[in-house]
Amino acid sequence: MTDPTDSDANKSGQYFGNYRLIRPLGAGGFAEVYLGEHIHLYTMAAIKILHARMSGEEREDFRTEALTIAHLKHPHIVRVLDFGFQDNITPFLVMDYAPNGSMRSRYKGSVPLATVLPTVKAIAAALDYAHQQKIVHRDIKPDNILLNEQDEVLLSDFGIAVAAHATGVQHTQDTTGTPAYMSPEQFQGKPRPASDQYALAVTVYEWLCGKRPFEGDAAALGYQHVHTQPASLCAQQPTL
């Protein structure tokens, strides 16, 4: 996610459903996320505002996909509490707020092995559950693995899956995601459950040695993910 303070259209103070937006938490290619406070209950939630503008059939598709995501119940998946359309056009999701940030913000370089192992087990279990529900996440990366009050890991940002299905991009060239973590088939517009497993493997590689297997722009990353063997982890981190 990009620095939310860089946005030229800060929505802090606006109301989305029953929530007043307090401050931006992050922004990406598909959406921006704000901390929101319920106007009656004074509880906090994360409000994901999708960049898409929807009308008619697209709104119904979004509603169907959002209902599917909202029914995901797993101890390591961020809950979707509500959803709606601002001005009947802009879709948004209301989700549990994870106050301790992300694995990206917690660890700037490599991650201790004692932390990697339970984190991978938790996220793999969450993905297995989501895949059983026929949902592909499409954007596994450290930024989307959050930490709650007890520092338990939570998989977030199923927003790409919702937006991609609702806007029909899965029928075209669906290359949504973050190129540094994307599988070869996802670069080809054919994401599948194995694509999430691949992205998790790239994430683990980064955690163990402090850097991703490939770097470059989207085109260079696509070529490397398809044609290049990554450097051995043991060569980069002999203590493993």
Gyration radius of the chain's alpha carbons:
18
In whole numbers, what is the pLDDT of the chain averaged over residues? 88
Residue range of the domain that includes 25: 4-236
We report the CATH number of the domain holding residue 35 as 1.10.510.10
Q: pLDDT digit string (tens) for 96-112?
A: 999 999 999 999 889 99
Predicted pLDDT of residue 159: 60
Predicted pLDDT of residue 52: 77
pLDDT at residue 237 tops 90: no
> Higher model confidence: residue 51 or residue 222?
222
Question: Residue 6: which pLDDT band, with cuts at 50, 70 and 90?
Answer: very low
Which residue do the tokens 């722009």 mark?
217
82 is catalytic: no
Domains in the chain: how many in total? 1
Instruction: Please give the Cα distance from 240 to 234 (Å, whole number).
Output: 6
Instruction: For 59-218, list the strands marked E by DSSP.
Output: 80-86, 90-95, 145-147, 153-155
- Strand pairing class (153-155; 44-50): unpaired
Question: Residue 30: which pLDDT band, with cuts at 50, 70 and 90?
Answer: confident
Question: Residue 117: which pLDDT band, with cuts at 50, 70 and 90?
Answer: very high
- Residue 154 — φ and ψ, nearest 5°? -135, 130
* Percent of the chain surpassing pLDDT 70: 88
| Residue tagged active-site, from 3, 8, 139, 157 | 139
* Percent of the chain surpassing pLDDT 90: 68
Predicted pLDDT of residue 240: 64
Q: Which of 26-30, 105-109, 162-166 has the lowest mean pLDDT?
A: 162-166
Q: Which residues pair with 145 in a beta bridge?
A: 155
Cα 206–118–221 angle (5° rounding)?
20
Contact 144, 155 (CB under 8 A): yes
Predicted pLDDT of residue 214: 96
Tokens standing for residue 67? 């209902």
Q: pLDDT digit string (tens) for 63-94?
A: 888 888 889 999 999 999 999 999 888 899 99
pLDDT mean over 115-136? 96
Task: Number of helices (H) and strands (E) in the chain: give both, helices first.
Answer: 8, 8
Q: pLDDT digit string (tens) for 173-218?
A: 445 789 999 999 999 989 999 999 999 999 999 999 999 999 999 9
Q: Which of 139, 134, 125, 149 minimizes the C-alpha distance to 74? A: 125
pLDDT at residue 122 tops 60: yes
